[in-house]
Amino acid sequence: MSSTGRIASFDPEVGLGRVDADGGRTYPFHCVAIADGSRQIEPGTRVRFRVAAGLPGRWEAVEIRPDGPLAPAG
């Protein structure tokens, strides 16, 4: 089952980011979880993703795919 949300932050130098899910939870992710293989995604991008078990005791966003336009600048 997939979830939707928005990229809250992404640091391309370390490849780590966070997704704020529409349901209110926040999930970390690594750049290899971006489905198109680009390893880059802009904060504010609407996305569709799955939640999967990651590090012990933590849920992570995986199979992240853009699902709409970027957030307006400003």
Domain boundaries, the chain: 3-66
Per-residue tokens: 34: 């971006």
Residue 74 is given by DSSP the state -
Domain 3-66 in CATH 2.40.50.140? The answer is yes
pTM score:
0.86
Per-residue pLDDT of the chain (74 residues; tens, 9 = 90+): 799 999 999 999 999 999 999 999 999 999 999 999 999 999 999 999 999 999 888 999 999 999 965 555 54
Q: How far apart are CA 74 and CA 65, in angstroms?
A: 24
- Could you list the beta-strand ranges (E) of the chain: 3-11, 16-21, 26-30, 46-53, 59-66
**Helix, strand or coil, per DSSP, at residue 25:** coil
Q: For the chain, what is the radius of gyration of the CA atoms?
A: 11
Q: Which residues pair with 47 in a beta bridge?
A: 5, 66
